[in-house]
Homo-oligomer: A and B are copies of this chain.
Amino acid sequence: MSLEDTMNALGAEARIAARAMALVPPDRKNGALWAMAEALSSNAAAILAANRKDWNAAEKAGMTSAYLDRLYLDAKRLNAIAEAVANMTDIPDPVGSIVKEWTRPNGLKIQQVRVPLGVVGVIYESRPNVTADAAALCLKSGNAVILRPGSDSYGTAVAIHQALQQGLQKSQLPLAAISLVPVPDREAVGLMLKGLQGTVDVIVPRGGKSLVARVQEEARVPVFAHLDGICHVYVDGAANLEMAKAVVLNAKMRRTGICGATETLLVDRACAATHLKPLVQMLLDAKCAVRGDADTQAVDARVTPATEEDWRTEYLDAVISVKVVDGVAGAITHINHYGSHHTESIVTADNAAAQKFLREVDSAIVLHNASTQFADGGEFGFGAEIGIATGRLHARGPVGAEQLTTTQYRVFGNGQTRP
């Protein structure tokens, strides 16, 4: 059987499993999550051995230490993975919840009800936790999932997948609800992106920019993803300096490698004389490189010139670009032009300025007086997320269990016919 035939069969089985999973009551899904968490613990030896093999091969292949760290599992990390699966039992079950309900003049009662999306394809790289996290979130939301891990962590993924399957089996749920591709190569990715003969409803890429770019370019099915997180903080003329310092430092430096990390600081010309220098020096002192426009270069000799390219760059590192703009309108224009429609924050005591910013900035998440690093499903209270989407359709922002559902209209009559 060719890989294409095998993958199509996988898709067809996932589709059948998805129909079954859509009808599983919340308690049984939670039971399966507990059983999966337990199986991850009881299979620890096998999982860690498989991971050691993957890790040794990756080290031999000369992967970077950051890469090796992402790949690495030990008992503590595996325990955290199992706990995350168990914690998903606490998330509210979105399936069957009524979004809206109304009655028409002819007596028809219409309900809009949440139902699972169907089959979710997850394409990821080396992090072993994604196998368990993505599977658990898809199960919680009543979907079937097809997992395609990176080739470097495939052995680890197989071992984790076996544990998850034990959990499904114990709960008498269909094993095809959580499928793993038979080989982790690029051909399998290409086939998933084509939708496996209409059996894949949505693809979620989890990984670096080149993976996401390939998925967005090639996919023939909808994709939940963001390519860039070029996030901004705008410090308005009416900003309290101490608050601005706290928000900017956290937004840039708490973790520089996440998509909600701020990459550009915009400062209102109206407060540049008082706020720009302390903000820039704070960042420099925190070991953040600052690339600035002429105004910013003037406040400290350590500031290097920002190029046009800097305004479009997601550093994911301790680097920030800084620019003085003309008020909230200038900030909005800059952000809508250079940004990636991900997450932006305004710091101001002026509510009218904040309202203008929140309304006019065309991003998935906009904040007033808070750090951009809150761009996260957990921080939103979603319990877990499979990623953050900057596409405009269906799921915009953090993608949690609810965003992995669609809706169905259920109409209740007593014999109505249409005139």
Q: Please list the residues of chain A having a beta carbon within 8 angstroms of any beta carbon in chain B.
A: 19, 22-23, 102, 104, 108, 110, 117-118, 201-202, 222, 240, 243, 246-247, 249-251, 254, 336, 358-360, 362-371, 373-374, 376, 379-381, 392-394, 396-397, 406-418
What chain B residues lie within 8 Å of A19 (beta carbons)?
Answer: 336, 362
A–B Cβ pairs within 8 angstroms, 24 of them: A19-B336, A201-B393, A222-B393, A240-B415, A246-B415, A247-B417, A358-B410, A363-B408, A364-B409, A366-B409, A367-B411, A367-B413, A368-B410, A368-B413, A369-B413, A369-B414, A370-B412, A370-B413, A370-B416, A371-B416, A380-B409, A393-B394, A393-B406, A396-B408
What chain B residues lie within 8 Å of A370 (beta carbons)?
Answer: 108, 411-413, 415-417
Q: Within the complex, which residue of B201, B246, B360, B376 is in contact with A417, where a contact is CB–CB below 8 Å?
A: B246
**Known contacts A368-B413, A417-B246; A393/B104 CB under 8 A:** no
Shortest CB–CB separation between residue A41 and chain B, in angstroms? 28
What chain B residues lie within 8 Å of A396 (beta carbons)?
Answer: 406-408
Contact B369 A415 (CB under 8 A): yes
Task: State the number of copies, please.
Answer: 2
Shortest CB–CB separation between residue A168 and chain B, in angstroms? 21
Shortest CB–CB separation between residue A48 and chain B, in angstroms? 30
Shortest CB–CB separation between residue A226 and chain B, in angstroms? 14
What chain B residues lie within 8 Å of A412 (beta carbons)?
Answer: 367-370
Contact B23 A380 (CB under 8 A): no
Contact A365 B415 (CB under 8 A): no
What chain B residues lie within 8 Å of A415 (beta carbons)?
Answer: 240, 243, 246-247, 369-370
Which residue from chain B places its CB closest to the CB of A402 in the assembled complex?
B100
Shortest CB–CB separation between residue A279 and chain B, in angstroms? 15
Shortest CB–CB separation between residue A344 and chain B, in angstroms? 11
**Known contacts A393-B406, A397-B409; A104/B379 CB under 8 A:** yes
Contact B118 A374 (CB under 8 A): no
Contact B373 A418 (CB under 8 A): yes
Contact A394 B397 (CB under 8 A): no
Shortest CB–CB separation between residue A367 and chain B, in angstroms? 4
